[in-house]
Amino acid sequence: MTVSRRTLLSTLAAGAAGVTFGGLTTAGTAQAAGPAGDVVGKVTVGYQGWFACPGDGAPINAWWHWSQNWSQTPSPSNNVIRAWPDSRDFTRTYQTAYANLGNGGPATLFSSYDQQTIDTHFLWMQQNGCDTAALQRFNPNGSEGPTRDAITGRVRTAAEAHSRKFYVMYDVSGWTNMQSEIKADWTSKMSAHTSSSAYARQSGKPVVGIWGFGFNDANHPWDAAACADVISWFKAQGCYVMGGVPTWWRLGTSDSRAGYLDVYHAFDMLSPWMVGRIGNVGDVDNFYTNATVPDLADCNAHGIDYQPCALPGDVSARQRAHGDFMWRQFYNMTRAGVQSVYISMFDEFNEGNQIAKTAENQSQVPSGSGLLALDEDGTACSSDYYLRLTADGGKMLKGQLALTATRPTQPVLGGGGGNPDLALHRPVAESSHTQVYAAGNAVDGDPSTYWESANNAFPQWLQVDLGSTVTTRRIVLTLPPSTAWGARTQTIAVQGSSDGSAFSTVVGSADYRFDPATGNTATITYSGGSTARYLRLLFTANTGWPAGQVSGFSVYAD
């Protein structure tokens, strides 16, 4: 089993010193940090992609990273995860030996080897402002190698399909022959992926990450010269090299070995590790003063891009404070002037620090497992809450939201004041669309963009995923306000579902008039309310055009 940074690095005392290696010392003339690219000015998420299950077709044929003993089915006594994933969006999952979920459903887990799993993860990234995925790559030369190689190809496919960027990030933890083998792996396998339109580039160079140089523990034993050699080699290949470094890299103390400052300064970008270092808002503020601000100043002085970590907090340790812990990190980074952020991590269910969809409450957790859900502190949270929180944090970092210490993201959609549109920017599905008029146009908040189904092919449907089961009472539909859109009547029914497959009628088929003289708006009310996660509009006629048409699909609780 691969040793990874899940094991908390102990805090050790060490002195700070500096050495110079040929051509790598960058101290001296201050330079501006790099321009915006695929990592600078972006939200990057660490992506493990390291879960497998027997029967998924993966070469490893094991419960990879789901259990202590990979040859045995995960159970409460054979468990290495700290949170239970919400697997409702996956088309294929695998039965475990846990008891049924609290709601009676089967306790199943996903496999990263299934293309649909990774496609779903990258769709979530696309929907929630995650620009780039750093695919973790550990020593690929053992039995895990073929599975990791295949998953890299699946990540590439998903990134291309969902307009996300990705890059290879080597985690060198426990990699004995790292210095030579990392070069061979890049040359023979990984460099081929840089031909993808989705491979991340910065300043025109393909990005490569290296996590683990300089850590003061037995899993990262290489001397400074060996580390400097690897960085220099990748730069000679034309790469932009990102370094995942110890928290106290700048001082050469605690988790950092002394004498590595010139190694750190040789990277193009630095990302100090924070998991296990902070656990509450007070810790976050201390690190703002003692690490973030002086780290950023040092990087700016050396022309190095800076990408600190933000983490949601370990669910099992009750660190999350319904999002306030993570939001304080976003706030402190933004007020410090940080341009880029690295989320630790997207799918790290082993540490409990994942932002991917997670069990909302005990009804979605295996009974008797002892695992906590997102509502562990008494505040209800939808399974996608930390994805949505990441989206808002990224917007604030990019200047698209005003700097605020008060978290704007509601734990449950519709949980804030007023009466928000529950469908805005939510995932959508469709029976079909024509040309560029896809389903996403109906929930993008832009009245001039619209969805149009295939022509002359009724019935057609448009569906929104509200993220969790909620009670709604009103739908407002619009067409573009332009007078070029003449009046028309569309025949529409509304259906609801809790699982996205079995639908029941919410509002029967009826005619709805859209007239530019009155805003091209139609309202569908159902005062008794409908409790569903998915709402579907079923179109069977349109007097103005032989297709279903909607520019705005808004859903309200009242």
Structural domain boundaries in the chain: 43-397, 428-556
Q: Which tens digit of pLDDT belongs to each residue from 136-169?
A: 999 999 999 999 999 999 999 999 999 999 999 9
What would the CATH number be for the domain defined by 428-556?
2.60.120.260
- The letter for the amino acid at 380 is A
Low-confidence residues in the chain, pLDDT < 50: 1-32, 417
Long-range contacts of 219-222 (CB under 8 A, 24+ apart): 219/3, 219/7, 219/173, 219/174, 220/172, 220/173, 222/172, 222/178, 222/179
| Separation of alpha carbons 529 and 226, rounded Å | 65
CA distance readout (Å), 130 to 70, 83, 290, 371, 444: 31, 21, 28, 27, 17
> Which of the 8 DSSP states describes residue 296?
H
| Separation of alpha carbons 100 and 86, rounded Å | 14
Phi/psi for 154 (5° steps) reads -70, -40
Residues 6+ apart with CB under 8 A from 92: 56, 110, 111, 114, 116, 117
Rounded to whole angstroms, the maximal C-alpha distance in the chain is 78
Which residues are 495's β-sheet partners? 505, 536
Asked if residue 125 has a cis previous peptide bond (ω within 30° of 0), the answer is no
Cα 556 off chain centre by: 27
Angle subtended by helix axes 224-236 and 178-188, to nearest 10: 10
Can you give the pTM of this predicted structure? 0.74
Taking the CB of residue 10, how many other CB atoms lie within 10 A of it?
Answer: 10
Looking at domain 43-397, its CATH superfamily turns out to be Glycosidases (3.20.20.80)
Residue in 289, 293, 224, 295 with CA at minimum distance from that of residue 261: 224
The string of DSSP codes covering 205-225 is EEEEEEE-TTBSSTT----HH
Task: Name the pairing type of β-strands 305-306 and 269-272.
Answer: parallel
| Separation of alpha carbons 538 and 463, rounded Å | 9
Residue 418: predicted pLDDT? 82
Cβ(147)–Cβ(60) below 8 Å: yes
